[in-house]
Structure 1
Amino acid sequence: MDYQYFEEESDYIDLDEEDDDEETAVDLDYRFGKSDEEEDYYLGGELEGDVDGHGILGLAERLLESLQTCVEPSLVQVLQYVAPMLLLCLLCRLLCLLYSQRKRLTSLTPLHLLHFACGLILLQFSVGYRLLLLLLLAAVGYILLQLLRLGRRGAHILAVLTIGSQFLYELLLWRRRSDWPQLRGIQMVVNMKLISLGYDLTTSGQLQARIPGPFAYLGYIYSPATCALGPWVSFGSYMDCLVPRNSWLVSLRRLVPNALLCVLAVTVSNCVAAALSDFFSDSSHFLVMYWDALSVRTSHYFVGFMAQALLVASDQRLDGAGIESDLLGPLVSRPWLIEWPRSISALVRSWNIPMHEWLKRYIYAPFKVNSSRSRTVLAVFCTYFVSCLLHGMDLRIYLVLISLSIFAEGESLLRRQLAIFLDACISANVCPGKERCRYGNCPSKRRWSSVSYWLVRITNLAFTALAIYHLAYLGVVLLGESLESGDETESFLWHWQQEGYLSHYIGVATFVLYLFIS
């Protein structure tokens, strides 16, 4: 999913506050899970015992059977995937630390080479021989960086050619389409780094710094902390973290919970969600959609926690403010705000925080040159459009992002209008608290025994339930490998047809209701 960017008037009294409440759009990044050829562990063959598929006892027995046949293979799979990456990041950090402890640090080139070498080994482990193709595309990217000598116009050309090359490669050059999704995710992060580097170096129409040398460029693009799973970091953030600063004890304290959450996420994705979806297949279509979509979401959470673990191991920080946790370190996503969202826009903001920062900085802000409503809406949809392009040729993601842009924008406009009309704290943004909330009917200003307190709570709870429904409805799209399959019941369109396209009707209705009351 992608970020919903919207910024009209602030819901705070302090209108000079930095736009932390911009509603943005999110990126459906990489997915971790079993390939089509691998065994569906959660099924475990035929379930033994007399399980009628109904009732609490039947559910408990099925979950137990699923865990027994699924958890161990999943843990082995995670260990084989995670351990080499973490070891390479720790090794890179150790070597950089040893080199930086010299009395005089005369050159950063060895540090760049260490990052580049460790990143190559990590990618060789991840993608094999296809690493040669990624090196070729990185070389093309460095040639394109020379366009920055043309100034801001060169940065625009670089952005167009960078995104266009990804389409050209996928459409004309790469025949084995089954291999491309993994490469596309890696190349998407490279493209984001190139574009951000181009715009950062041409700020205010002038080249503010030298184009990085080839070693600095390769170290940035193939840093082991971000080259395989992402996330995006700016060149400035990479340079600031070349020499590790956090203690090993702090990193270990943050690494352990990230590793445990990786295991939990992949267990839920491979085992629990699949078993629950199978259990409810004959009783509730919504619950089937919800558990299938949960499998997709927890796959994304696994990648997010894994990316956080790599960042912690490398002592790499992210761009932007407020995206670091004392417990987990740099945050790539916030699952707790996705599973129980206040609004759709809050949900999508939390899906991929670094990409949100990238889109806000390089797409949304340049398009939103003033605070007019038309310009804001244009900036929102341009942001979603660029996010679609970054994902390459994947119609499923296009449908999800376009739908999200409609749902999130409609809900944000409607709730803002209702909040003003009713003087109630029911806007899409989280209530800023008693001292800063601008609305009279705010739960933080009322006693729990007052009627307005409960009316506001119930209204916000209803919007949360609606966001969860949209989340299940759209998330089921990404479960399969294609739009259509041989069996029509395996197509996501079948799920939407079963729901009567209700989510889309609700999304359009929010716009109509907003126009009516405004």
Structure 2
Amino acid sequence: MNEMMFEDYDYEDVEVEYADYYEDDTYVMPDEESWKDDSDEQTVDPFTLDELYNYCIIPTITDSHKHLIGILSWSFLFLLSSRTFRIPKVLIHLSSTVSGGALLWHMFDWRSCLMGGLFVITYLNLLSSHFVLRRWRGPSCFIIGVIYLIVCEFWMVNPMWWHAFRGIQMVILMKLVSVGYDLDTSQLKEFPNLFEVTGYTFNPGTVIFGPWIPFTSYQNVLSPLKWGLKWVLKILMNLSISVAFLIFSTCLVNWLIPDNSNRWFIAYRDALSFRSSHYFVSYLSEVSLNLAGIESVSVSKPLKIEFPRSLVEVVIYWNTPMHHWLKTYVFKPSRVKFGPFAAIIFTYGMSALFHGLNFQIAAVLFSLGFYTYTEHMLREKLAVIFDACILARPCKSCKHRKKDSTLFCIFVNLILGLVTMFHLAYLGMMFDSSSQMQEKGYNAAHTLKKWSTLNYSSHWVAFFMYVLMAVL
């Protein structure tokens, strides 16, 4: 194959990248079991709107504001301390570090030392590889950081604690690895000093939920901020959307699709609830980023995911900053050495590793790797056979005889889009509201049991598509 998914994507409207999955890793939703009957055998009348408002929506907002106020307040305090009047650059970076450190301590108390430990060992490795080896800065940071994460996950940290903040560790590691790779490729001309790196790593606008931003974007904090009504309205709009997705995920989805529904409706409900919690975090991360005075980033695009053209686009728009990070620092270097298909598998493997050594996440990501590769290649072959715009991404300028607006292309893209929605329901169904599972992470038995209830149908469909792709 000549051009693969990660190579063809357009980032003109996205300045930076993604940090996948800080969403449910760093924020624990209120326990839905507290407002649902514990007995599977007993039928419970659905809540009225008034009961839903009083017993779910209000408690959800009340419980969540404790964390949200801290994140938004420290981001705004950093903005006020660094951008309202001119101060030396070193004080700006120091303010970023102190604000982010205070936020981490506010949310995780002494456990925030684990984030500091990851920074220390990775930064020391970055120093040694830069001044001693003068190469391999990115790969060495990646290796030493992953070893630290594995040791923490299996031997040092309570699983419930680790599940709560492993997303933060992932963002920290992504930042330091990107600095190393940018030095290797001369994207950064000079080695940033300690104040610059700590300010970048622990900036309050990105340290909790992300998103990942490159070091060059962080340096915008050194420039005067353009205050204005547009800036304020954007913050308020994104905050409102974020809270709306939180309420929808925690309360409304289970009210609209009750437990006595068809198993496929329940699968779609659980997956939709999980996706909505991700949208909550994505929009909240945009708010914190703007409040910290850093250039705005589009993290996720829910409409592109809920009404998809293809799984390839879902992968892109799920978290565009992290996707860009994976493409730049994992896929491209590995493709040169191993080829496109192996690079895709390696990229999804690294994404799974960054999210923690968890069977559930690994199973979903490796399935996505196989699904997206199959879909991309099948669509590419069908586009040639039918001379039609039915690629995984819309054609920008092509010589296909049948354009996107033709009835044939609309029909094919609609059918494959529905297949994508089917895959999303199947892959996301195990991210349910089992509170004990959520606190520790989902194991292999939980994942396979969930998929077995649907007879592994999505994997069979993907296998059929692969066979069809292979024979064409």
Calculate the TM-score normalised by the size of structure 1: 0.81
> Percent identity between the aligned chains?
29
**CA shift digits 1:288-318 (9 cap, x unpaired):** 000111111111111101100001111212x
Q: Does 1:357 align with 2:337?
A: no
- In structure 2, relative to structure 1, the CA distance for the partners of 1:120 and 1:306 (3 Å cut) is same
- The residue aligned with 1:316 is 294
Q: Does 1:96 align with 2:82?
A: yes
- The residue aligned with 2:59 is 73
- The residue aligned with 1:296 is 274
- In structure 2, relative to structure 1, the CA distance for the partners of 1:417 and 1:20 (3 Å cut) is farther
Alpha-carbon distance between aligned partners in 2 of 1:178 and 1:52, rounded to the nearest angstrom: 32
Alpha-carbon distance between aligned partners in 1 of 2:13 and 2:70, rounded to the nearest angstrom: 37
TM superposition shift of 1:39? 5.9
Higher relative helix content: 2
Alpha-carbon distance between aligned partners in 2 of 1:79 and 1:18, rounded to the nearest angstrom: 33
Question: Does the Cα contact within 8 Å between 1:6 and 1:377 map onto a contact in 2?
Answer: no
Counterpart among 429, 440, 451 of residue 496 in structure 1: 451
Letter paired with 1:182: A
- The residue aligned with 1:155 is 138
Q: Does 1:262 align with 2:226?
A: no
Question: Does the Cα contact within 8 Å between 1:406 and 1:508 map onto a contact in 2?
Answer: no
- In structure 2, relative to structure 1, the CA distance for the partners of 1:208 and 1:307 (3 Å cut) is closer
- The residue aligned with 2:148 is 165
TM superposition shift of 1:344? 0.5
- In structure 2, relative to structure 1, the CA distance for the partners of 1:333 and 1:19 (3 Å cut) is closer
Question: Does the Cα contact within 8 Å between 2:249 and 2:276 map onto a contact in 1?
Answer: yes
- The residue aligned with 1:442 is 403
Q: What SS does the corresponding residue of 2:402 show, helix, strand or coil?
A: coil
Letter paired with 1:243: S
Question: Does the Cα contact within 8 Å between 1:26 and 1:350 map onto a contact in 2?
Answer: no
Alpha-carbon distance between aligned partners in 2 of 1:262 and 1:18, rounded to the nearest angstrom: 23
Question: Does the Cα contact within 8 Å between 1:255 and 1:312 map onto a contact in 2?
Answer: yes
Task: Single out whichever of 418-427 and 208-217 deviates more from structure 2.
Answer: 208-217
TM superposition shift of 1:241? 2.9
Q: Does 1:186 align with 2:168?
A: yes
Q: What SS does the corresponding residue of 1:198 show, helix, strand or coil?
A: helix
**CA shift digits 1:271-290 (9 cap, x unpaired):** 0112234x2x3341110000
Q: What SS does the corresponding residue of 1:40 show, helix, strand or coil?
A: helix
TM superposition shift of 1:456? 1.9
Counterpart among 128, 145, 150 of residue 126 in structure 2: 145
Question: Does the Cα contact within 8 Å between 1:333 and 1:352 map onto a contact in 2?
Answer: yes
Aligned residues: 457
**CA shift digits 1:134-166 (9 cap, x unpaired):** 223222222111112212334322221121221
- In structure 2, relative to structure 1, the CA distance for the partners of 1:286 and 1:52 (3 Å cut) is same
- In structure 2, relative to structure 1, the CA distance for the partners of 1:28 and 1:472 (3 Å cut) is farther
Q: Does 1:395 align with 2:359?
A: yes
TM superposition shift of 1:183? 2.3
Alpha-carbon distance between aligned partners in 1 of 2:65 and 2:27, rounded to the nearest angstrom: 13
- In structure 2, relative to structure 1, the CA distance for the partners of 1:33 and 1:162 (3 Å cut) is closer
Q: Does 1:335 align with 2:302?
A: yes
TM superposition shift of 1:243? 3.1
Counterpart among 272, 275, 297 of residue 255 in structure 2: 275
- In structure 2, relative to structure 1, the CA distance for the partners of 1:394 and 1:369 (3 Å cut) is same
Question: Does the Cα contact within 8 Å between 1:368 and 1:379 map onto a contact in 2?
Answer: yes
Q: Does 1:423 align with 2:409?
A: no
Highest Rg: 1 or 2? 1
TM superposition shift of 1:42? 4.8
Question: Does the Cα contact within 8 Å between 2:97 and 2:203 map onto a contact in 1?
Answer: yes
TM superposition shift of 1:516? 0.5
TM superposition shift of 1:270? 0.6
Letter paired with 2:349: F
Alpha-carbon distance between aligned partners in 2 of 1:262 and 1:41, rounded to the nearest angstrom: 23
TM superposition shift of 1:212? 2.2
- In structure 2, relative to structure 1, the CA distance for the partners of 1:158 and 1:425 (3 Å cut) is same
- The residue aligned with 1:326 is none
Alpha-carbon distance between aligned partners in 2 of 1:141 and 1:484, rounded to the nearest angstrom: 29
Q: What SS does the corresponding residue of 1:350 show, helix, strand or coil?
A: helix
Letter paired with 2:450: H
Question: Does the Cα contact within 8 Å between 1:308 and 1:331 map onto a contact in 2?
Answer: yes
Q: Does 1:511 align with 2:462?
A: no
TM superposition shift of 1:68? 3.7
Alpha-carbon distance between aligned partners in 2 of 1:39 and 1:515, rounded to the nearest angstrom: 45
Question: Does the Cα contact within 8 Å between 1:244 and 1:314 map onto a contact in 2?
Answer: no
Alpha-carbon distance between aligned partners in 2 of 1:33 and 1:161, rounded to the nearest angstrom: 27
- In structure 2, relative to structure 1, the CA distance for the partners of 1:226 and 1:194 (3 Å cut) is same
Structure 1, unmatched stretches of 5+, are: 12-16, 318-328, 445-452
- The residue aligned with 1:251 is 231
Letter paired with 1:258: N
- In structure 2, relative to structure 1, the CA distance for the partners of 1:27 and 1:113 (3 Å cut) is closer
